[in-house]
Amino acid sequence: MEVICGRKGDRMSKKWYRIQKLKAIFVLALAVIFTNAVVSYGNTVKLIHNQQWVTSSYKVITQVESIQSRLQDTETAQRNYLITADADDLKTYLVAYEETNRNTQTLSKLTADNHQTQQWISLLEPKITSRLNILQEEISLRQNQGFEAVRQRILSVKDKQNSKEIQQLIHDFLEVEQNLLQQGMQQSQASSQKAIVTFFIAAIVDLVLVALLYDLLWRYIRQLQQTEMALRQSENRLRAMIDAEPECIKLIARDGTLLEINAEGLAMMEVESADVLIGKPVDAVIVPEYRAAFADLHKSICQGNKGTLEFEIVGFKGTRRYIETHAVPLLNESDGTLIHLALTRDVTQQKQAEQKIREQAALLDVSTDAIVVRNIRNQILFWNKGAQSLYGWKAEEVLGKNVLQLLYKEISPQLEDAYLTVMNTGEWRGELHQLTREGKVIIVESRWTLIRHDNGQPKSILSVNTEITQQKQLEAQLLRSQRLESIGTLAGGIAHDLNNILSPILMSVQLLQRKLPDQQSQQILQTLENNVKRGANLLKQVLSFARGIEGKRTIVQIQPLMAEIEQIIAQTFPNSIICQIDIPKNLWYVRGDITQLHQVLINLVINARDAMPNGGILRIAAENLVIGEHSAQINIDAKVGSYIAIVVTDTGMGMSSEVQERIFEPFFTTKEVGKGTGLGLSTVLGIIKNHGGFVNVYSQVGRGTQFTVYLPASTSRDTHSLSLELESVIGDS
């Protein structure tokens, strides 16, 4: 690029140097020609002046000589007349006399602008006049007195003296004037020679300059011809390249008419020749609703701005096309104004594809599944409304972001395996744990499909994710219920066998107490009896869990039951545990075994106490609750209807998710040996299920645990029976 710029700079410098050289030579030639013209003009004027002066001088001399000659003729004719008295001589005298006067007047006119000659004429003219008067007097004397009188007069000195003075004046003037004439002729000859020499020198210089200019002009013309040929070749190559351009290139004048268009533009306009379009308004093919926008764009471009516009045109054969134009201003070298250069391409297929994509996107947005498209660098390209509903982010918030950083806590081996599988086989299906915007972990069934370029290279990955969190929870509850049912069946059989084993042992202990009355034996047997009864009580709990307890069912009020629990807590729990009980007065009734419900609450509050060894807050609350169909689908044990929800919350150590999955298993405990049997919560679950209810648990490690017991509320008929029982009790008392 630097080399090209350097060559262009050298060409510009040489061109500038040639132009300056031509200018200098042209100015020099003009100066020389002007100088030659001035010199020639001066010489010519001087030569003409000399010639005029010589001619004038020659005329004066001729006229003076004529005066002298005519004066002599006059005297001669007068002398002849005086001698002969011939009339012809008198006539000749009169003619000569007139010519002498006329010549004198002519001489005066010729020398009107010559002061010295005028002074000489002023001396000569009186003398000639005097001489002519004398001649006339002699004629008159001859005619009146005769020849003798005239002879005497002629011989007088005065007459001779006057004639000599006239001759002397004429002689002196002619001598001086002839000398001046000779000098003027010499000067005129010298000026002529000088003018000739100057003319030849100027002619030679002009010829040299003309030759030099011809040579330079000839070279410059050859360079112009070569440049024109190069420009023509360059223009042809440029035209070929422009015509080969797959996009339309147009040049538009300031008045909106077309100046140039390439072959692709002709095809786009559906014409065969540019002559059909050149000079015509370009907006003639634009659909009317886009013409105002195009006019604004054209005006902005002609003001020096750049712009882009999409509009629709109709070709000469009626084909409608969507056009995208990129326009820039271009300097018009002829007048320095800006014109419109447009690069235009047909985006009809792109528009149709975009419309199809929008239609497909609308269909995808209807889907309740989360549909996500990402490139191979894991940047999100598409995010439908199903994804927005599932994860909580809007499309404009996630486009371009990394999907792995957005939806996953960490890159798990399962995720890496999924990526490798879809890249190798083109698809993958499996379950993934993902995050929502609120940080909630959800489980999705994900289906990945690899999308490739036309050349087969991977382009993007289409993911369709269906949330199965509730389904997984229901499956876990079902598996847990099945597992507990199996464990309950096994535990029931074991408890029955152990009970059969403990019965003879207890009977034997009682017999031995009667036969061994000593205190030491009694203490040992009492300890043995207590342990056997404790084992029997434990087996009773196992049987209660395994088979359910079929005690006497009555209408139970929760408020009195809560009061008993609160009293037990106040009497037995450490002071570091603060108990808060919130029981509304309008709480519904429950039909069940009050002893078993008492056992449930006792087990829950004792577990809460054990979870807070350093103290904390124990909160017991209850509320009326109606469970609908949606809530019933979340929990496998729930049914549509009215419930009383009893919530026991502690601020203790909390439980991990792994522990939460096993807390209702018989004999599972996290307590130390001797502090728990692992049957408390399993018994609670058995009692609650036996009453037609269910239990939910929510716990976080270090933040506490919440047990929510749902018991079906009694019907209005049960409530009426309870009222009758109460009235009966009151009447008996």
Which amino acid is located at 294 in the chain?
F
Please give the helix or strand (H or E) that residue 682 lies within, else none. helix 680-690
Taking phi first (over 0 means left), then psi (-120 to 50 degrees means alpha), and beta for anything else, what does residue 203 get?
A: alpha
Question: CA–CA distance from 540 to each of 281, 446, 494 (Å)?
Answer: 102, 48, 11
Taking a C-beta distance cutoff of 8 angstroms, is the pair 180, 57 a contact? yes
With tokens 């002398």, the residue in question is 79
pLDDT mean by block of 10 residues, the chain; 733 residues: 43 64 72 74 74 75 79 81 79 80 77 75 78 80 78 66 75 76 76 78 81 81 82 72 76 90 87 87 91 92 92 90 91 83 87 71 68 90 89 91 89 87 91 90 91 86 88 70 64 69 79 83 79 65 54 80 85 89 90 84 89 92 87 73 93 86 72 56 82 89 92 65 43 39
CB 620 within 8 A of CB 585: no
Alpha-carbon distance values, 639 to 424, 479, 636, 655, 694 (Å): 47, 19, 8, 28, 10
Which tokens go with 534? 């404790």
Which amino acid, 229?
A: M
Q: What is the pLDDT of residue 621?
A: 94
- Separation of alpha carbons 667 and 687, rounded Å: 16
**Could you tell me where the DSSP H helices lie in 367-412?**
385-391, 395-398, 403-407
Q: Give dist(CA 238, CA 245) in Å, integer.
A: 10
Contacts of 84 (CB under 8 A, 6+ apart): none
pLDDT value of position 1:
35
- 3-state SS of 213-264? HHHHHHHHHHHHHHHHHHHHHHHHHHHHHHHHCCCEEEEECCCCEEEEECHH
Residues 390-422 as b/e (b if ≥16 CB within 10 A, e otherwise) read bbebeeeebeebebeebbeeeeeeebeebbebb
- For 288, list phi and psi in degrees, rounded to 5: -50, -40
Residues 248 and 271: their CA atoms lie apart, in Å, by 13
Q: How many C-alpha atoms does 552 have within 13 Å on its Cβ side?
A: 2
User: How far is C-alpha 498 from the chain's CA centre?
Assistant: 85
User: Sign of dihedral through CA atoms 347, 353, 356, 358?
Assistant: negative
Q: How far apart are CA 433 and CA 469, in angstroms?
A: 9
pLDDT at position 99 is 81
Which three-class secondary structure state does DSSP give residue 410?
coil
Long-range Cβ pairs for the range 35-44 (8 Å, 24+): 36/198, 36/202, 36/205, 36/206, 39/198, 39/202, 40/195, 40/198, 40/199, 40/202, 43/191, 43/194, 43/195, 43/198, 44/195
Asked if residues 31 and 201 have their Cβ atoms less than 8 Å apart, the reply is no
Taking the C-alpha atoms of residue 691 and residue 598, their distance in angstroms, rounded to an integer, is: 13
